[in-house]
A and B are shown apart, each in its own frame.
Chain A
Amino acid sequence: MTTKTEQTAPAQTKPGSQIIVDTLLEQGVEVLFGYLGGVVLPLFDKLYDSPIRVIIPRHEQGGCHMADAYARSTGKVGVMIATSGPGATNLTTGLATAMMDSVPIVALTGQVRTDLIGNDAFQEADTTGITRPITKHNVIIKNPNDLAHTIREAFYIASTGRPGPVLIDIPVDMQVAQVPVTPPQPIELPGYRVREHGHARQISSAAEAINASQRPVLYVGGGVISGNASEPLRKLAKKANIPVTMTLMGLGAFDQNDPLSLDMLGMHGAAYANFAVQESDLLICVGARFDDRVTGKLKTFASHARIIHIDLDPSSIAKNVPVDIPVVGNARYVLADLLEQVEYRERKEWFERIAELKKRYPLRYDRNSKMIKPQYVIEELWHQTQGQAIITTGVGQHQMWTAQFYKFSRPRQFITSGGLGTMGFGLPAAIGAQIGNPGALVVDIDGDSSFNMTLTELSTAVMYELPIKICLINNGYMGMVRQWQELFYGRRYSCSSLKNPDFARLAEAFGAVGLSARKKEEVPAVIKAMLEEKKPCLADFYVDPEENVWPMVPTGKSLHEMDGLNLLEMA
């Protein structure tokens, strides 16, 4: 029975910090990553009593990469909390990484009291100003009544459309203010409309072009993975009989063990993928954005092909190349609609040509070398894990060798920083992926220079007893920089070598297990020991210091003008 007194009683109130925690729970948050500081203490105080699991990194950048990899590997939104000032500025690399690779993150930063903002207060920074270009959306809370719906909107914006990071800056007085509790309202954001389904006429045009094409190639990117569109992609490729090449971000979208797979394209892509794209008469781009590392010289990129571009983000379409048939929509729905209208074509000549290219220019390396070849370590890891591990990487040569020699079979299996190219991503990413996938085998294939950047997070892995593996491709150089200096700067290795610690002993000092291999014969046993280890384990492989990544499309060259083809070509 409702009485009059109850109707007029003041609404229930809670502190803003409790509202934040309640709203995170309402959004389904089970785990978040966060680092403490003065102006987020009210929030951490409420987290103390909540069922949300809090993972403390050793540096906010690491925490942001963890939230990022948690999101990439699970499809959920990653949540990161940092304090004001340096806490917030330390997030920038992580936010920019997530922005470039379209990863849904909600970052909550503390801010100094509203009456101190602009005063150069202790640990004050203009967080919304600094992060505006590297977030999909950001906002500062000026009224504690806005907390709940702003957080709901943040989750909505981060995870819908083309996903991306959203930051909410929360002054400490907003966290302690008493706020009336309000039930969730429907989200209404004028000006933010997501077109999930493609236009029917555009889809028909695309289907007609596909059915008429002699030499089609599907060129697919991270949008297929974030759109959960792998299954319709597989069906489309099979039904219409079209080979599939993937960008770095797209690896895993299509099973690389499938005969239709052309593996990765681009600067260090498979030669057969690059040639196929250049010889195609129809390029069907799905959830990719014609990045310069993919296209090489734009003027000559797939110059004989008509181009279909399927993308959720209309601003991506025709940004870099003229597109013949644009389709704005989620890859999942557009590919499902296309599937109904495409027909099987044998394309005998085209597949014969592709088979010839694959046979003539396989990805390979010198197996007879006495030194440990980095590709050998990755290939052996692929064998021993039956190709099933979740793999993270840093950035550089080891990342490209991983993309070339670990064959991925399912989406969300390969977690790497593609767009921003963030060295140091691999270790925190492995931690975030392991948190999101307890029981899964997670391996960070890292380079020595990348690993040096964030290795402090080993401490996090040990503290939370995460059985992550670190497979260190150690060549004593910033390998990719050195490769460019060798090829384009007359072997002048300016500042590109490092004095490294003994990584295995360093791992032991952190409380992890450290292994190393200096001889080729030791590699299989060291990988086996690493994989059997229950604790976090690092295996340091002393590889050939001057091995290069081949093939390579030098900047400014066309995609078919690859260096190193002579090293790949089979007699």
Chain B
Amino acid sequence: MTIQSHPSGASAPSSGFKSGSEIIFETLRALGVKIIFGYPGASVQPLFDAIYRLSPDSAGFVHHLRPAALQGHSTEEPIHLIGTNLYRTRRVL
């Protein structure tokens, strides 16, 4: 067995290998999984990153989050993050 690893779990572009987390993600998608319920943590971070990178509608997601978080803190308005986040999580596959 050959395992090629990259710190973030992303495959090197030129490589013929995929990361374990990418294989998990693609296998789930091939099995017809539409919704995942999950909670991040140190040892599942590569998988959550694969979900983020490979799901078709997650582009630009990060741009929503950070200003929203900062805005919530600076304007005393509630932080509206999870709505976006949940939908993203649900529709990733």
Task: Give the distance to chain A from B92, nearest Cβ to Cβ, in Å.
Answer: 9
- Which residues of chain A from 483 to 538 have a CB within 8 Å of any chain B CB? 484-485, 488-500, 502, 518
Stretch of A14-22, A329-337, A473-481 that contacts chain B: A473-481
If over half of B's interface residues share one DSSP class (helix, strand or loop), that class is named, otherwise mixed; here it is helix
Q: Is B69 an interface residue (CB 8 A)?
A: yes
Q: If A481-B40, A490-B8, A518-B76 touch, does A495 touch B66 (CB 8 Å cutoff)? A: no
**Residues of B close to A546: CB separation below 8 A:** 66, 69-70
User: Bound complex: CA of A542 vs CA of B72, how far in Å?
Assistant: 9
**Residues of A close to B82: CB separation below 8 A:** 497-499
Q: Is B27 an interface residue (CB 8 A)?
A: no
Does A476 contact B79, Cβ atoms closer than 8 Å? yes
Does A497 contact B81, Cβ atoms closer than 8 Å? yes
**Residues of A close to B80: CB separation below 8 A:** 499
- Which residues of chain A from 522 to 571 have a CB within 8 Å of any chain B CB? 542, 544-546
Does B78 contact A497, Cβ atoms closer than 8 Å? no
Does B81 contact A542, Cβ atoms closer than 8 Å? no
- What's the tally of chain B residues with a CB closer than 8 Å to chain A? 31
User: Bound complex: CA of A502 vs CA of B77, how far in Å?
Assistant: 11
**Residues of B close to A502: CB separation below 8 A:** 78
Q: If A495-B85, A497-B81 touch, does A545 touch B69 (CB 8 Å cutoff)? A: yes
Does A491 contact B76, Cβ atoms closer than 8 Å? no
Q: 1/0 per residue B55-93: CB within 8 Å of A?
A: 000000110011001101100101111110100110000
User: Bound complex: CA of A519 vs CA of B68, how far in Å?
Assistant: 18
If over half of A's interface residues share one DSSP class (helix, strand or loop), that class is named, otherwise mixed; here it is loop
**Residues of A close to B72: CB separation below 8 A:** 476
**Residues of B close to A491: CB separation below 8 A:** 62, 66
Does A492 contact B79, Cβ atoms closer than 8 Å? no
Q: Is A371 an interface residue (CB 8 A)?
A: yes
User: Bound complex: CA of A499 vs CA of B69, how far in Å?
Assistant: 10
- How many of chain A's residues touch chain B, expressed as a range? 20 to 34
Q: Is B38 an interface residue (CB 8 A)?
A: yes
- Which residues of chain A from 107 to 159 have a CB within 8 Å of any chain B CB? none
**Residues of A close to B85: CB separation below 8 A:** 495, 497-499
User: Bound complex: CA of A63 vs CA of B47, how far in Å?
Assistant: 32
- Give the residue of B41, B53, B81 whose beta carbon is less than 8 angstroms from that of A492: B53
Does A495 contact B76, Cβ atoms closer than 8 Å? no
**Residues of A close to B61: CB separation below 8 A:** 492-493
User: Bound complex: CA of A495 vs CA of B48, how far in Å?
Assistant: 7
Please give me the residue from chain A that is nearest to B76 by CB atom: A518
Mind listing 19 A-B residue pairs with CB under 8 Å?
Answer: A476-B73, A485-B49, A490-B8, A491-B62, A491-B66, A492-B53, A492-B61, A493-B61, A493-B62, A493-B66, A495-B38, A495-B39, A495-B40, A495-B48, A496-B40, A499-B82, A499-B85, A500-B79, A518-B73
Binding site for B on A (CB under 8 A): 371, 475-478, 480-481, 484-485, 488-500, 502, 518, 542, 544-546
